[in-house]
Structures are given as structure tokens and as C-alpha cells.
Amino acid sequence: MNLDNCPRCGKLFAKNFRDVCPACIREIDNEYQRCADYLREYKGAIISELSEATNVSIKQITKFIREGRISMMNAPNLSYPCESCGTFIRENHICDACRARLMKDTQQMQRNDAKTAEMKQQESSVRGAYKGLGEYKKR
């Protein structure tokens, strides 16, 4: 039997396919139901209104959206925070600006790695040449 502490409430539970205890699973399901009911009545709600009205954290609502439990198609004004900068978005995990910055940083890192490898190669070639000179002088 695999035991673990629930990350949500801290209680010890027999771990199964979910990472939280059965009591927290029921609470999460209740939170989802409150959100779904509210969105059925107020389709134009934004995430902060939804959170306040249902007493469900923005983090949990975002998790419902990412899991596909809350559909963005039925909630035209609903958006959630970018994982990097907090700007509100309607798809993916990070906004376009953060994605562009991440791509730019990745490309710069790859260029730096290539330059470092090239410098090491040149250094190795120079060392080999000097070593060859030493062998030549010994003769």
C-alpha cells in the first residue's frame, strides 16, 4: 500500500490514481460544480469575479481550465494568468511575449554554446600544434 500526505490538506491517505486524498477530491469536485453553475448563469464573468463568487482560488480555476473541465468557448471573457508574467491569456501556459522572450533566450544560449564549442576546438587545435612543435624540437 502506497501512503502519502495530501498536498492540499496534509492528511495521510492511501495514494491511488489521484494525488490528493478522497476528502479533497470531493472538495475539488464541489468547487468545480460551483464554478460550472456560476458560469452557466453568468457567461460573461471574468476569473476574479468567478473566484470571488464561488470562493474558489484563481489557481484552482486555472487548473480546471487547463484540465479541460471549464471550457473557454462557453466563457468569452474568461482568461487566466500567464505562468511567467501573470498577464491574462486564453490559451497555452505562457503569453506570446514570454514565449518570444523564451525563444530568443534559447537561441542566444545555443549561439553561446556553439561559440564556446568552437573556441574549445580552436584551443585544442592550438595545443596540438604546440605539442607537435615540442616533438619536433626533441628530434
Q: Which pLDDT value is given to residue 121?
A: 84
Spell out, as residue ranges, where the chain has pLDDT lower than 50: none
One-letter amino acid for residue 41 of the chain:
E
Nearest partner of 74 among 50, 37, 44, judged by Cα: 44
Nearest partner of 76 among 49, 28, 43, judged by Cα: 43
Q: Which pLDDT value is given to residue 124?
A: 77
Q: Which pLDDT value is given to residue 50?
A: 97
Q: Where are the beta strands (DSSP E) in the chain?
A: 3-5, 12-14, 80-81, 88-89
Distances (CA, A) of 89 to 52, 59, 74: 19, 14, 16
Q: Where are the domains of the chain?
A: 1-81, 96-139
Name the one residue in this structure whose C-alpha cell is 487547463.
66
Give bridge partners of residue 88 from the DSSP assignment. Answer: 81
Q: Which pLDDT value is given to residue 129?
A: 62
The model's pTM is 0.74
